[in-house]
């Protein structure tokens, strides 16, 4: 029987030499694989109150939209700087070579709303940690974070757990 991990393709030396890119587009393209991933990501939250799903740019939009639909709740995107129209709040975070900025609409989440954060891959945790800070600045209460893939060697899970987050993943891959 196939698992979610079986649907994920590895592309060697992308985007740089030495990187093992875990490509979830092959998972998304397969109807059984995609349904399996969404269903498994939903499972831990059965019966929990969740008000909104937040998806992180860009593959988190695909998962987040599907999960929000299944939960019958709203979806909120967190995007890279300059991609959202209207009033936003921003959070900078450190990358391997420099800095990046994530943004959310300043009215996307109301104080006290219970939020599920979704993305495809947890690596260093920088993007997710910046997103968590944005949600918390708006008064959102994060129920959990959910990812298809964890790259444990890069330490993202420890970063998020250090922020007090529940972290759910469907599979792990060794190596960056």
Query: Which active-site residues does the annotation give?
Result: 59, 96
Rounded CA-CA distance 170/150 in Å is 8
Q: Is 92 exposed, middle or buried (0-12, 13-18, 19+ CB in 10 A)?
A: exposed
Question: How far is the CA of 89 from the CAs of 21, 94, 138, 161, in angstroms?
Answer: 30, 17, 9, 24
Q: Contact at 8 Å (CB) between 92 and 99? A: yes
Nearest to 38 by CA among 63, 62, 57: 63
Cβ-based neighbours of 151, under 8 Å, separated by 6 or more = 22, 121, 122, 123, 172, 173, 175, 176
């Amino acid at each position: 029987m196939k698992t979610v991990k079986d649907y994920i393709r590895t592309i060697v030396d992308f985007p740089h030499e030495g990187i093992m890119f875990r490509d979830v587009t092959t998972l998304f393209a397969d109807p059984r694989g995609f349904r399996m991933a969404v269903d498994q990501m939903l499972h831990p939250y059965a019966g929990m109150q969740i008000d909104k799903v937040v998806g992180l740019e860009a593959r988190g939009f695909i998962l987040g939209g599907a999960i929000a639909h299944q939960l019958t709740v709203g979806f909120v995107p967190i995007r890279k700087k300059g991609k959202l129209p209207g009033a936003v709040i921003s959070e900078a975070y450190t990358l391997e070579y420099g800095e990046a900025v994530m943004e959310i609409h300043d009215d996307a989440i109301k104080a006290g709303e219970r939020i599920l954060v979704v993305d495809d891959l947890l690596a260093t945790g920088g993007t997710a940690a910046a997103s968590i800070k944005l949600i918390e600045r708006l008064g959102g209460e994060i129920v959990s974070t959910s990812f298809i893939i964890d790259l444990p060697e890069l330490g993202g899970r420890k970063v998020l757990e250090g922020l007090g987050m529940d972290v759910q993943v469907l599979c792990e891959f060794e190596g960056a």
